[in-house]
């Protein structure tokens, strides 16, 4: 009896060593999917970690999973942490981000033997769909005596990658195929008075909160009437950094000389696609996804600016489902650009110019008197 008891741990150790021998040395996985959508959209949703919880498969397999955003939301350094019963605690961090084509992510989990590196490659196929490939690998080999603990890990990670790709595909295709009110229209000439500023897209609400009151106050002070709801004019954007060059503005009857710190922009008659979007401002990205896809599918070019017209004020209607935002995508016709921007100088600009002029005059004076 004592000999049998002595042999049991030896047998268990032997079985464990055999399992280590047949266990995984490392992990490499690859998945590919075809997505009906534009490659800039796929890149934006991978580059912006705020969208990950919306398509990531982990929430399905672990309902207890909680996500917490890190300090940065887009591009290199963007991250979020997670905590759940099945997946444990960990971190997801963007390490590389190449414009519209490639994203590398480091995934750390206290239940894995080392960090998991994910490389997302976006391959456009015309303007209607893209192929997305995901390559995954463990950063370090699994130590021999721990391999028995991870016998099931390769199949679990393969399943996770497959479900992640299906989630990304379903999320993006759901956005571009949503039933929105889209129609061909003509944008009528308007003059906008407002404030321009380059700003992170995530900071736009705070920009509007401080810009619109200034615009209303100034126009009232000079007795200029505004003839429509407030708008956001997107003049330029950078997908990698998340910055947009935005103008918070009001339409006015006629062109006036802008005050210091304000700007005038005239948008002339132009064919456009108009989308009437009902819902919270947080869902506007869904509408833009739809319009971007339609333009690329029809081989049309977007002219600047992109116009968001906030018809319904939150103070007038508490029900977010009834908020109406008209979105206009101007169609570039190949002629002269339809937007004319008059940028005024700020007080700091004027001071700097005067200082530079004084320095130049002093240098010329010293040269003459040498």
CATH number for the domain spanning 43: value is 3.30.530.20
* Domain C-terminal end among 176, 207, 235: 176
One domain, residues 272 and 324: yes
One domain, residues 45 and 126: yes
**Residue among 153, 162, 210, 201 at smallest CA distance from 306:** 201
* Domain C-terminal end among 146, 176, 206: 176
The enclosing domain of 308 has a CATH number of: 3.20.80.10
One domain, residues 172 and 298: no
Sheet holding 102-109, edge to edge: 28-35, 129-138, 116-125, 102-109, 88-98, 79-84, 66-69
Q: Is residue 16 part of a domain?
A: no
Q: What residues contact 59, with CB distance under 8 A and at least 6 apart?
A: 53, 65
Q: Is residue 103 part of a domain?
A: yes
Domain that holds residue 189: 182-348
Q: Is residue 362 part of a domain?
A: no
Structural element, H or E, at residue 163: helix 153-176
Q: Is residue 100 part of a domain?
A: yes
Q: How many other CB atoms are found less than 10 A from the CB of residue 303?
A: 21
**Residue 73: its pLDDT value, please?**
79
Q: Is residue 143 part of a domain?
A: yes
One domain, residues 197 and 87: no
> CA angle 146-147-153, nearest 5°?
115
From the number of C-beta atoms within 10 Å of its C-beta (0-12, 13-18, 19+), residue 110 rates as exposed
One domain, residues 149 and 251: no
**Residue 345: its pLDDT value, please?**
43
**Residue 332: its pLDDT value, please?**
87
- The torsion angles phi and psi of 96, rounded to 5 degrees, stand at -135, 145
> Could you tell me if 203 and 72 are in contact, meaning their C-beta atoms sit under 8 angstroms apart?
no
Instruction: Please tell me the distance from the alpha carbon of residue 148 to that of residue 140, in angstroms, as a whole number.
Output: 16
Instruction: Please tell me the distance from the alpha carbon of residue 4 to that of residue 252, in angstroms, as a whole number.
Output: 94
Q: How far is CA 245 from CA 235, 237, 281, 336, 344, in A?
A: 5, 6, 18, 21, 15
**Residue among 138, 156, 159, 175 at smallest CA distance from 55:** 175
One domain, residues 168 and 236: no
One domain, residues 236 and 101: no
**Residue among 138, 137, 167 at smallest CA distance from 33:** 167
Q: Is residue 366 part of a domain?
A: no
One domain, residues 248 and 334: yes
One domain, residues 325 and 212: yes
Alpha helices, DSSP H, located in 180-283? 204-221
Locate 329 and state its tokens: 């995508």
Instruction: Please tell me the distance from the alpha carbon of residue 235 to that of residue 198, in angstroms, as a whole number.
Output: 9
**Residue 342: its pLDDT value, please?**
39
What predicted TM-score, i.e. pTM, was given to this entire model? 0.67
Residue 249 φ/ψ region, left for φ over 0, alpha for ψ in the -120 to 50 degree band, beta for the rest: beta
* Domain C-terminal end among 144, 176, 208: 176
Instruction: Please count the residues of the chain.
Output: 370
Q: What is the pLDDT of residues 20-72, one digit of tens each?
A: 888 899 999 999 999 988 777 788 788 888 788 888 888 778 888 888 887 77
CA atoms in the 13 A half-sphere facing the CB of 211: 25
One domain, residues 194 and 341: yes
Those residues of the chain that have pLDDT short of 70 are: 1-7, 99-100, 178-181, 239-240, 335-358, 361-362, 365-366, 368-370
One domain, residues 120 and 227: no
Number of domains in the chain: 2
Q: Is residue 359 part of a domain?
A: no
Q: The tokens 């509408």 sit on which residue?
A: 287
One domain, residues 195 and 333: yes
Q: Is residue 369 part of a domain?
A: no
């Amino acid at each position: 009896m004592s000999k049998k008891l002595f042999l049991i741990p030896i047998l268990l150790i032997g079985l464990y060593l055999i399992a280590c021998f047949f266990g995984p040395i490392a992990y490499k996985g690859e998945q590919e999917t075809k997505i009906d959508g534009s490659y800039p959209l796929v890149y934006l949703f991978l580059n912006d970690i705020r969208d990950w919880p919306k398509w990531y498969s982990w929430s399905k397999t672990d309902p207890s999973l909680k996500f917490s955003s890190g300090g940065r939301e887009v591009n290199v350094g963007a991250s979020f942490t997670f905590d759940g019963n099945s997946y444990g605690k960990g971190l997801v961090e963007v390490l590389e981000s190449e414009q519209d084509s490639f994203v590398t992510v480091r995934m750390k989990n206290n239940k894995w033997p080392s960090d998991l590196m994910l490389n997302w490659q976006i391959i456009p196929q015309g303007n209607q769909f893209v192929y997305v490939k995901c390559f995954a690998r463990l950063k370090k080999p699994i130590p021999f005596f721990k391999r028995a603990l991870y016998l099931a890990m390769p199949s679990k990670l393969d399943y996770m990658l497959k479900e992640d790709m299906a989630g990304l595909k379903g999320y993006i295709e759901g956005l571009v195929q949503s039933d929105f009110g889209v129609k061909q229209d003509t944008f009528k000439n308007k003059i906008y008075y407002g404030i321009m500023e380059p700003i992170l897209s995530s900071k736009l609400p705070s920009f509007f909160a401080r810009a619109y009151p200034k615009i209303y106050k100034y126009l009232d002070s000079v007795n200029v009437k505004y003839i429509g709801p407030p708008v956001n004019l997107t003049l330029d954007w950078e997908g990698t950094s998340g910055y947009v060059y935005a103008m918070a503005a009001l339409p006015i009857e006629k062109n006036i000389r802008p005050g210091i710190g304000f700007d005038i922009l005239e948008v002339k008659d132009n064919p456009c696609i108009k989308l009437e979007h009902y819902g919270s401002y947080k869902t506007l990205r869904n509408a833009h996804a739809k319009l971007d896809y339609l333009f690329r599918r029809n081989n049309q070019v977007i002219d600047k600016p992109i116009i968001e017209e906030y018809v319904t004020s939150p103070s007038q209607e508490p029900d977010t489902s009834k908020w109406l935002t008209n979105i206009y995508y101007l169609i570039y016709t190949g002629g002269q650009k339809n937007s004319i921007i008059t940028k005024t100088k700020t007080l700091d600009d004027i001071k700097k110019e005067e200082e530079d002029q004084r320095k130049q005059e002093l240098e010329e004076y010293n040269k003459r008197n040498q």
